[in-house]
């Protein structure tokens, strides 16, 4: 179910994406509303699930993650129980920062960060290959990032 989002809502969302630390007064100024109506709109967007949280954007390289890998995983078979075990196991790996079920020859796409290639190799051999039901794993390394923002980077 989608909700109606008007121009003012879009301006609020854009402002929060640019800087989630803006005060309610600063947000209201940016969208030419008084503070109360602006706050009510933001609250509605949160309650409706449009805004799902507020996060600090981290530089993966600055905190030591030089490798970004796209890992395509095929599993033996998918039933409710085996899929749930696989999903729980993947979600428990902090280096997996995104995880999607996909269409095509593979079943899942994982976006993985690692300190270096040795760390990725270790993760691949000791964790990813040992995930429940894994049939095949294909890794594609990012060589150059043109646009991207990752949330949920592991911070030790």
Given a contact cutoff of 8 angstroms between Cβ atoms, the answer to whether 151 and 96 are in contact is no
Question: For position 57, what pLDDT does the model report?
Answer: 84
Question: For position 78, what pLDDT does the model report?
Answer: 73
The pTM score is 0.83
Q: Would you identify the CATH topology of the domain 58-139?
A: Alpha-Beta Plaits (3.30.70)
* pLDDT tens, residue by residue, 96-121: 999 999 999 999 999 999 999 999 99
List CB contacts of 110: < 8 A, sequence separation 6 or more.
Answer: 70, 71, 73, 90, 96, 98, 99, 128
Compute the distance between CA of residue 76 and CA of residue 85 in angstroms, rounded to an integer: 13
Question: For position 156, what pLDDT does the model report?
Answer: 59
CATH number (3.30.420.40, 1.10.1760.20, 3.40.50.150, 1.10.10.10) of 5-46 reads 1.10.10.10
Question: For position 53, what pLDDT does the model report?
Answer: 92
CB atoms within 10 A of CB 8: 14
**CA within 13 Å, CB half, 58:** 14
pLDDT, block means (10 residues), the chain with 156 residues: 87 91 94 95 95 89 96 88 91 97 95 98 97 95 86 65
Q: Indicate the domain borders of the chain.
A: 5-46, 58-139
CA 139 to chain CA mean position, Å: 18
Question: For position 47, what pLDDT does the model report?
Answer: 96
- Whats the size of the chain, residue-wise? 156
Do 5-46 and 58-139 come out as alike in CATH topology? no
Question: For position 68, what pLDDT does the model report?
Answer: 97
């Amino acid at each position: 179910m989608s909700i109606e989002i008007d121009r003012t809502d879009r301006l609020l969302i854009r402002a929060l994406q640019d800087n989630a630390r803006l005060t309610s007064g600063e947000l209201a100024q940016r969208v030419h509303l008084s503070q109360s109506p602006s706050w009510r709109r933001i609250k509605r967007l949160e309650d409706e699930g449009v805004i799902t949280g507020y996060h600090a954007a981290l530089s993966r390289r600055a905190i030591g993650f030089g490798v970004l890998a796209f890992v395509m995983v095929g599993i033996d078979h998918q039933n409710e129980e085996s899929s749930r075990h696989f999903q729980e196991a993947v979600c428990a790996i902090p280096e997996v920062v995104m995880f999607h079920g996909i269409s095509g020859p593979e079943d899942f796409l994982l976006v993985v960060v690692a300190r270096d290639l040795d760390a990725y190799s270790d993760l691949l051999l000791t964790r990813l290959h040992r995930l429940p039901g894994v049939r095949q794993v294909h890794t594609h390394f990012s060589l150059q990032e043109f646009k991207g923002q990752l949330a949920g980077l592991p911070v030790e």
